[in-house]
Structure 1
Amino acid sequence: MIRQGLAVMRRELTRLWRDRGLRGILFLGPLLGLVLFYATYSLQVLKGIPAAVADLDRSGTSRELVEQITNAENLKVVAYPGSFAEVEELIRRGKIVAGVVIPEDFGRKVALGRQARVEMVVDGSNMIYATNATSAMLSVTRTAAAQAGIRALVARGLHPDQAGEIYQSVVFREEAWFNPALNYAFFVVLALALNVWQQCCMLAACTIVIGESGAKSWCQLRAAGVSRLWLFSCKSAVHLAVFMLAVMPLYALAFLAFKLPLNCSFPVLLLFTLAFAAALHGVGTLASSFARSAVDATRFGMIIALPSFILSGYTWPLEAMPPVLQQLVKVLPQTWFFQGLSYLTWKNPDWSFIQPYFLALLIIAAVCYGAAAVIVCRK
């Protein structure tokens, strides 16, 4: 029986290796994706966000504010329009992402200690640009507002130190944990590359059952006394080994060459990846078992694999999704994997915390393999 199993494994490994297209997808697809994604996010933090400042006041106070905006760390002032309409046109044409309009009475109101309103407009059609531009703008305007308030108090006779203490009586300190620089590359690159890997694995898994239909070798194996259970167990073992072999260069490149963060131990990450590979392969096996052709099986697998990353809660919180969808996505192994991946790479959780993620993946694998076995036996 062991000799038969080894023969089946050798046969399956040969079949996978001879399929040049599948071999290239499994081993080169994720690596190419990792390199491209890292190159895309190599800047790590958005800088040089194009902005414009319209100074309608042209007072000393407004010019000081313009200078502060011009010197902002992540902004690049590329235009100084003379009206709000010009700012609007620049945003509409995509020349700038953010614009600041300083009103004509800005300096006078600041000198009198009155509220002075500065208009800040941001192009919200690109959420990444808009969020970063807003953050950079608010940082400048908060500083400018505090300085203006201190000057107003000094003009009323307070000592500069007293005025400063009044404005600094409540200080909010902003501190980002686990990813202090808010590095985009650290956040998305590995997850996007693993998303490519899981889609490639799903593509291969969907051939495990339907690939045997009508094959002469299947008749030979049945004649040799190889049971269905032993046949597909050996084939599955080969697939899982190939999946893990394909992910190893990806991890090596990510953690050793690109220095992406990994706060848990590498063996724990590999074990978690293996549990996900088993669950993913189980889903692919189930799709392969009830498909009428290899094309159908691939379609079923891709319908599941393609949107799963968006639905996993990695880039958009599960809590922000409709309650019904929150429950539905829990049947997808990708949801548990990418959620757990975030905790493992960033926070190094203890076993009691990460255990449910392991269990969920193993349960999904067991259910899918069991359902596939029932379907195959009835055929």
Structure 2
Amino acid sequence: MMRQFSEIVRWECYSLCRGRIPAILLFLTPLIFTLLFGMVYEQNTVRHIPAVIYDADQSSISRSLIKVYNDSDRIDICHYVYSSEAMEAALTKDEAQLALAIPKYFAKDINAGRQTQIALIVNSTNNLFANSALSATEEMNRTFCIAIAQKLMESYGANSVAAMEMVYPIKLGVRIINNPTTGYTLFMLPGLMLNGLQIALLITVAPLLAAFIRRQIYDESKYSSASILLAKALPYWLLGVIMYIISLIVMEHFWAVPIRGSWIDILLLGAAYNFAVIGILYLVSSLAADETQAVQLPLLYIMPGLLYSGLSFPIISMEGFGRWYANTMPLTYAADSLRDLLLAGYAPDLFGDVSTLLGMGIGCGTVAGILFTLRRRR
């Protein structure tokens, strides 16, 4: 039994290296995903949002407010206009994603102690621009308002410390843990690497059983279906785990993604993830009529995985079919736990996720083995 198993493993390793293309795909795809998407998210946050300014007041106070916007690295003032129509035209033509309108008598109302209002118009066609712009402008406006209120209180005779305490009696202390810059690189890159690994396994593993059934390479009386399935999967599983490790090291050195968790936990998760993906691909391959179909069918299932995995949109906010479909994805159980291990140093659901991934691999692999055996006997 072991002799036959090792014989198939050696042959599969030889075929993998001889073909070159499968080995290169499995080796390079997760690495390329890590490097390319790392470049996409290199800036970490959305910056340089184009803005248009309409200042109907033209006062020193309005210019001070505009300077606050101009000093921000999130906002790039690209146009100054002199009418609300021109401001709206800049937004309509997509020349700006953000518009700030300062009304006439802005400074006069402030100096008189009356409430005034500025208008902020955000183009939410692209939510990333909109969310970043709203976050940045809210902070800038709050800082500006506190400074103005402090000066008004000082003009009534209060000293600067007392004035600040009156206009800003409650200070909010914020401590952001694990991802202090709230950057996209740390948030997205681990999951994108796992998706690249999943795609690499799809391209290389999915055709294996379909090709074997068509060619009938090994004698059924000498080689059991279980030994064939395990032996053929082993080289791909090992190479997948190796590439998982290499990709994590690349993330750490090139994109400063921290690895705070235990390497044992990280490897356990990666090994279980590779095992689950291979089990699912085996199931599809055992059902497919040929190698082409074996590659095409999993695309319908795996490709939406990035959106359904909870990587970019939380599963707890999904309902009905969306949540059910997300729970069938290996990426769902690996992406969040890997991100937790890397950024926080621990993953509360690690062993539950690993158990689920192992269950997926065993369940799908068992069904694939039964179907594979039946098709061999035809």
Q: 1:187-211: CA deviations, max 9, x gaps?
A: 2223212211111112222123112
Runs of 5+ consecutive residues of structure 1 not aligned to the other structure: none
SS in 2 for 1:269: helix
Counterpart of 1:177, as a letter, is I
Counterpart of 2:13, as a letter, is L
Find 1:375's aligned residue among 368, 371, 374: 371
Q: Report deviation, 1:118.
A: 0.4
Q: Report deviation, 1:48.
A: 2.6
Output aligned runs, 1:56-135, within 5 Å: 56-135=56-135
Question: Relative to structure 1, is the Cα distance of residues 164 and 348 closer, same or farther in structure 2, using a 3 angstrom cutoff?
Answer: same
Q: Report deviation, 1:159.
A: 4.6
Note if 1:355 corresponds to 2:345. Answer: no
Which residue in the other structure is 1:239 paired with?
236
Query: Partners in 2 of 1:39 and 1:259 — Cα distance?
Result: 12
Q: Report deviation, 1:368.
A: 0.5
Note if 1:146 corresponds to 2:143. Answer: no
Which residue in the other structure is 2:341 paired with?
344
Q: 1:85-127: CA deviations, max 9, x gaps?
A: 2222222222222121100121121112221110011121122
Which residue in the other structure is 2:48 paired with?
48
Query: Partners in 2 of 1:108 and 1:129 — Cα distance?
Result: 33
Which residue in the other structure is 1:9 paired with?
9
Query: Partners in 2 of 1:331 and 1:34 — Cα distance?
Result: 24
Query: Partners in 2 of 1:339 and 1:323 — Cα distance?
Result: 21
**Which one scores higher on RCO, CA 8 angstroms, separation ≥ 6?**
2
Output aligned runs, 1:134-283, within 5 Å: 134-156=134-156, 158-215=158-215, 217-218=217-218, 221-222=219-220, 225-283=222-280
Query: Partners in 1 of 2:243 and 2:162 — Cα distance?
Result: 64
Aligned-residue sequence identity (percent) comes to 21
Note if 1:288 corresponds to 2:285. Answer: yes
Question: Relative to structure 1, is the Cα distance of residues 83 and 335 closer, same or farther in structure 2, using a 3 angstrom cutoff?
Answer: same
Q: Report deviation, 1:292.
A: 1.3
Equivalences, count:
375
In the superposition, the TM-score normalised over structure 1's length comes to 0.93
Contact 1:203 1:301 in 2 (8 A): no
Contact 1:99 1:121 in 2 (8 A): yes
Runs of 5+ consecutive residues of structure 2 not aligned to the other structure: none
SS in 1 for 2:81: coil
SS in 2 for 1:214: helix
Q: CA RMSD in A?
A: 1.9
